[in-house]
Amino acid sequence: MTDATRDIEALIDLMARLPGLGPRSARRAVLHLIKKRGQLMAPLARAMAEVATTARECANCGNFGIADICDICRDPRRATGEICVVEDVADLWAMERGHAFKGRYHVLGGTLSALDAIGPDELRIPHLLSRVKSEGISEVILALNATVDGQTTAHYIADRLDGAGVTVTSLAQGVPIGGELDYLDDGTISAALRARRSV
Amino acid sequence: MTDATRDIEALIDLMARLPGLGPRSARRAVLHLIKKRGQLMAPLARAMAEVATTARECANCGNFGIADICDICRDPRRATGEICVVEDVADLWAMERGHAFKGRYHVLGGTLSALDAIGPDELRIPHLLSRVKSEGISEVILALNATVDGQTTAHYIADRLDGAGVTVTSLAQGVPIGGELDYLDDGTISAALRARRSV
């Protein structure tokens, strides 16, 4: 094997580590990139290097941005006293696409899981509890996935917030059982947010 | 929209142009990359920039490499007098994975297509004919896809090589290794029956 194929094979191996791509589709993608190396591959490499350098996690909510505190947390119009709790940044983006929520977010980074030994301290739950006090929050909206782990986590957070003087709500039924936010259409997310119920 | 999300959105748009990825899976891939920006995103950006700069098409056969003439064309052990004609570099790589062919290749870059106005001159067919003379080729193996356009192209090339003093062959058609008759299309079964061999 020579340097040429080694470079290309290394690129295919890296591409195959992306979700949704296997070895075969990674090879197809790399062939496509080489054919369009001027129009697509070079700009993609630059965009990726740029984001790899600048992207960071918001120290407050866990969203991705280029500053220590993300745009949503810095936006004074979003200090509505409402925090929407999501599992993942993908879910935050899905909520934002719905354009229905005007408050701030808190990204847990996963769900409680006894099997994977993930407890509250692995999930930024303590940070959520302190934000509820320090930011004068009146309502915590639990927008967790309608999976067993998601609902377990929602109940745990509702328990911990019991007596903290905040309303705890969750997205309305309408999220399909076993469904994940990132795969829902925007209208369903908006409807579920409007119909949120007290836990 | 701020610079942060604009950079990330631009990256998602570029990723969505890869074959096999749509807007949704591109978003998932970019989120995964941002989470693993140190271990995966930065190395991937570097590998992509490297290949975008160095990759080029072999002036002889059309394979991808980092030199004007690719490794296969430069390898004296592969001057066997056999040329394997394929539609695309992906097919060349598939043949190489089989480790069964020891000669050289010729990548057409597509198939003849009246609908898309693709004639012989768009396909490096004239170059194939001149290689057959200049490289002292004794056998041309047509490894084109078993589609209508692929077979039309194979027949055209066989016609053009008639009288050039070379043997023209094509890959055998039949039941794939491990294939089950019940899942095969009728055309394949008919072809395999017509080409049956003595055991």
Domains belonging to chain A, first-starting first, are 3-54 (1.10.8), 75-170 (3.40.1360.10)
Model pLDDT, residue A159? 94
Model pLDDT, residue B19? 92
Model pLDDT, residue A91? 92
Contacts 24+ apart (CB under 8 A), A19-22: A19/B25, A19/B28, A19/B29, A19/B32, A20/B20, A20/B21, A20/B25, A20/B28, A20/B29, A21/B20, A21/B21, A21/B29
Chain B interface includes A69 (CB < 8 A) = no
Model pLDDT, residue B163? 87
| CB neighbourhood size of B124 (10 A) | 18
Chain A nearest C-alpha distance from B99 (Å): 13
Please, what is the Cα angle at B59 between B55 and B64, to 5 degrees?
A: 30
Stretch among A59-68, A75-84, A188-197, B143-152 having the lowest mean pLDDT: A188-197
State yes or no: pLDDT of A4 exceeds 80: no
Model pLDDT, residue B155? 94
Model pLDDT, residue B100? 86
State yes or no: pLDDT of A180 exceeds 70: yes
pTM, full prediction:
0.80
Mean pLDDT of the A85-98 span:
91
Task: Look at A134 and B4; give whichever has higher pLDDT.
Answer: A134
Query: B152 pLDDT band (50/70/90 cuts)?
Result: very high
Task: Test A11 with B49 for CB contact under 8 angstroms.
Answer: no
Collect all residues of chain B within an 8 Å Cβ-Cβ radius of residue A4.
Answer: 54-55, 64-67, 70-71
| CB neighbourhood size of A110 (10 A) | 16
Mean pLDDT of the B153-174 span:
91
